[in-house]
Amino acid sequence: MKKKFLGWILFLITICNGQYVGAQELLTNVYGRQYTFLNGKWNVIIDPYQQGRRTSIYKNRPLRNKADFKEYEFEGGLRLNVPSDWNSQLPELKYYEGTVWYARKFKVNKNQDENLFLYFGAVSYRCRVYLNGKEIGSHEGGFTPFQFNITDLIIEGENFLAVEVNNTRTVDAIPALSFDWWNYGGITRDVMLVHTPKVYISNYFIQLDKYKPDYIHAILQLSERKAGQKVRIEIPELKIASEVQTDGQGIAKTSFRAKNLERWSPQKPKLYQVTVSSATDHVKENIGFRNLSVKGTKIYLNDAPIFMKGISFHEEIAQRQGRAFSEQDAVALLSEAKELGANLVRLAHYPQNEYIVRLAEKMGIMLWEEIPIWQGIDFKNAGTRMKAQRMYTEMVMRDRNRCALAFWGVANETAPSEARNAFLKSLVEHCHEMDTTRLITAAFDLPKLNPETKAFEMNDSFIEELDVVSINKYMGWYHAWPSDPSEVCWNVAPGKPLIFSEFGGEALYGQSGDSTVTSSWSEEYQEKLFRDNLEMFNNVKNLAGISPWILFDFRSPYRFHPTNQEGWNRKGLISDQGFRKKAWYVMKEFYNNK
């Protein structure tokens, strides 16, 4: 009885917190530490009725005697690749939404002088993790990393790891019940064993001052929350070596001048090798430095206004009909963005894998990153708010050293209400606590034509919280043109920079038709639609950037048209087979001349 009561208390704490228990504060820069991958073929059991937990299949117990038997076995059954989604690996899992158990063994030689972390780049959407037959924690959210310190849980030699993954859509989740992309399930990013010394550098944040061109701020946290520990930050190329001591929380803060610093920009994405070390730990990575701010209706990068030449993509390789997860995938996606002439990628609509983020920075592409607060979110639910805050933390903590990150997006297409305002305001405040060097934005689909002023206007007080306001508006697709595009006026967020974060329309690659008929789904229609929108943008006084929707056709189960869509959103400038549509050339020319 007592046990049951305790179980309930734990359950209630979990629910009230709106999050699963167990996952711990993230290590900064796991790829810069000593690690081994647990990627590869994992054994799986598909569990649509969710019976595995009841029968404790994660214990993988051996048979005890002649009369014993079990109705499951991981070995010798189905196997799936990790990382990857399950939907693209087995035809019967294409539409699957439910539970799949993943399991594998791994060997360790225990080392008394180190900590061992089990790190997941992402698991979609929720999971429970079991090590050697015991639940060690859980996580919710399909696009952000999490980790467990397993130092005291591993055994010498062979260990058995099981992960119960579930991608059922629920009303309190983020995203919630419906969204315009494929609900891929699985262990979709790298799984790693990360080694650190006993006392280690748990996280650090090193960036240029928001305004000063040569002033770097650094903050480091050691795992031991004790004063007087020495830490060192070195940037050899700049002849910088700064030494500081921790406070009682194990935190060390410092700022220093960097003479002859060359700032990062899309034209010259300069990165410096930075080393952070303590008495016992030593971590290295490449970091870039730049100033980013807003003055009036302009966005400034370093000392000059910059126009955001954006493009979006989902974390998907269309030809494989599955999630992108590798460095090679990142090359494929970002090279096409670069080829288009983009200087900004909006990672739609969720944090994408770290390969993409790091490569974009090397290639000189700025990034907009957001968590999947995409329409239909249960803003009144305190648990959902907690989840959003945790996802935010995981995203910002993973990527705040990437100077390419220009925007944190707080929401996509939400309608004003008291509950929404409070929810999103709490996210903006939370974001400011972790990082003040990025611009905060949100995308709105609310602007309406005011028949009196003949301009599109928007009434949403939440924009006061934002540095930059973004608009998703599908003129010529979901919205008929009210007049000639050259006459359509915009008066949205007049004192702030405005980005058109989505515009476009669908075309089936290779289909020609009448450029004036929407339902032709033709490349000619899409091409004209792009020309018309670009014409309209001339009338937007506070225009600071545009980002068409979208670079590649992508899979979406609510795209029903039997011949033109077949389960694909066809707004891509590039088809599912990798061919450029006519509209691609219109955008390319526009970006070249801008």
Instruction: Write down the least CB distance from residue 506 to ligand GCB, Å.
Output: 8
Instruction: Write down the least CB distance from residue 500 to ligand GCB, Å.
Output: 12
Instruction: Write down the least CB distance from residue 335 to ligand GCB, Å.
Output: 23
- Name the residue nearer to ligand GCB (CB basis): 144 or 412: 412
The bridge status of strand 322-323 relative to strand 316-317 is antiparallel
CA-wise closest residue to 44 among 190, 183, 192, 185: 185
- Name the residue nearer to ligand GCB (CB basis): 172 or 413: 413
Distance of alpha carbon 2 from alpha carbon 257, whole angstroms: 60
- For CA atoms 458, 460, 461, 466, give the dihedral sign: negative
Query: Residues 495-524 vs ligand GCB: string with x where CB under 6 A?
Result: -------x----------------------
Instruction: Write down the least CB distance from residue 526 to ligand GCB, Å.
Output: 12
Cis check for the bond before 62: say yes or no (omega within 30 of 0): no
- Name the residue nearer to ligand GCB (CB basis): 263 or 571: 571
- Name the residue nearer to ligand GCB (CB basis): 169 or 432: 169
Instruction: Write down the least CB distance from residue 351 to ligand GCB, Å.
Output: 15
Instruction: Write down the least CB distance from residue 529 to ligand GCB, Å.
Output: 13
- Name the residue nearer to ligand GCB (CB basis): 207 or 441: 441
Instruction: Write down the least CB distance from residue 569 to ligand GCB, Å.
Output: 5
The bridge status of strand 251-257 relative to strand 240-245 is unpaired
Region 540-559 residues binding ligand GCB, contact defined as CB under 6 A: 549
- Name the residue nearer to ligand GCB (CB basis): 316 or 502: 502
- Name the residue nearer to ligand GCB (CB basis): 211 or 560: 560
Q: Judge whether 142 and 160 are in contact, CB under 8 Å.
A: no
Distance of alpha carbon 502 from alpha carbon 412, whole angstroms: 10
- Name the residue nearer to ligand GCB (CB basis): 297 or 472: 472
Instruction: Write down the least CB distance from residue 477 to ligand GCB, Å.
Output: 8
Q: Please state whether 287 falls in left (phi above 0), alpha (psi between -120 and 50) or beta.
A: beta
- Name the residue nearer to ligand GCB (CB basis): 129 or 458: 458
Residue selected from 84, 115, 188, 412 as contacting ligand GCB according to rule CB under 6 A = 412
Q: Does 470 bind ligand GCB (CB under 6 A)?
A: no
Region 175-194 residues binding ligand GCB, contact defined as CB under 6 A: 180
- Residue whose Cβ sits closest to ligand GCB: 180
Instruction: Write down the least CB distance from residue 164 to ligand GCB, Å.
Output: 29
Q: What DSSP character marks residue 461?
A: G
Instruction: Write down the least CB distance from residue 403 to ligand GCB, Å.
Output: 27
Residue selected from 265, 352, 569, 575 as contacting ligand GCB according to rule CB under 6 A = 569
Q: Does 149 bind ligand GCB (CB under 6 A)?
A: no
- Exposure b/e, 220-237, CB count within 10 A at least 16 = b: bbbbeeeeebebbbbbee
**Distances 317 to 272, 322, 331, 334, 376 between C-alpha atoms, Å:** 31, 6, 11, 12, 26
The bridge status of strand 498-502 relative to strand 40-47 is unpaired
3-state SS, residue 460: coil
Q: Does 281 bind ligand GCB (CB under 6 A)?
A: no
Q: Judge whether 369 and 399 are in contact, CB under 8 Å.
A: yes
Alpha helix segments (H runs only) across 354-483: 354-363, 382-399, 418-434
The bridge status of strand 308-313 relative to strand 344-347 is parallel
Q: What DSSP character marks residue 194?
A: E
- Name the residue nearer to ligand GCB (CB basis): 306 or 395: 395
Q: What tokens does 572 get?
A: 């891509």
Residue selected from 97, 413, 435, 535 as contacting ligand GCB according to rule CB under 6 A = 413
Q: What tokens does 523 get?
A: 């490349």
Q: Does 472 bind ligand GCB (CB under 6 A)?
A: yes
Q: Judge whether 137 and 148 are in contact, CB under 8 Å.
A: yes
| Number of residues lying near ligand GCB (CB under 6 A) | 10
Gyration radius of the chain over CA positions: 25
**Distances 328 to 44, 243, 331, 416 between C-alpha atoms, Å:** 26, 38, 5, 41
Distance of alpha carbon 182 from alpha carbon 427, whole angstroms: 26
Instruction: Write the DSSP assignment of 27-87 as a string of letters.
Output: PS-GGGSEEEE--EEEEEEEETT--TTTTTGGG-PPP-STT---S--STTSEEEEESS-ST
Q: Does 445 bind ligand GCB (CB under 6 A)?
A: yes
- Name the residue nearer to ligand GCB (CB basis): 291 or 569: 569
Instruction: Write down the least CB distance from residue 550 to ligand GCB, Å.
Output: 7
Instruction: Write down the least CB distance from residue 370 to ligand GCB, Å.
Output: 10
Instruction: Write down the least CB distance from residue 3 to ligand GCB, Å.
Output: 46
- Name the residue nearer to ligand GCB (CB basis): 184 or 289: 184
Distance of alpha carbon 350 from alpha carbon 356, whole angstroms: 12
How many residues does the structure list for the chain? 594
Beta strands in 445-571 (DSSP E): 448-450, 455-457, 468-472, 489-490, 498-502, 543-546, 554-555, 568-569
Residue selected from 323, 358, 571, 580 as contacting ligand GCB according to rule CB under 6 A = 571
**In the Cβ-directed half-sphere of 540, how many Cα atoms lie within 13 Å?**
26
Instruction: Write down the least CB distance from residue 125 to ligand GCB, Å.
Output: 17
- Name the residue nearer to ligand GCB (CB basis): 129 or 356: 356
- Name the residue nearer to ligand GCB (CB basis): 378 or 445: 445
Region 300-359 residues binding ligand GCB, contact defined as CB under 6 A: 349
Kindly list the residues in this chain that would bind ligand GCB in the complex (CB under 6 A): 180, 349, 412-413, 445, 472, 502, 549, 569, 571
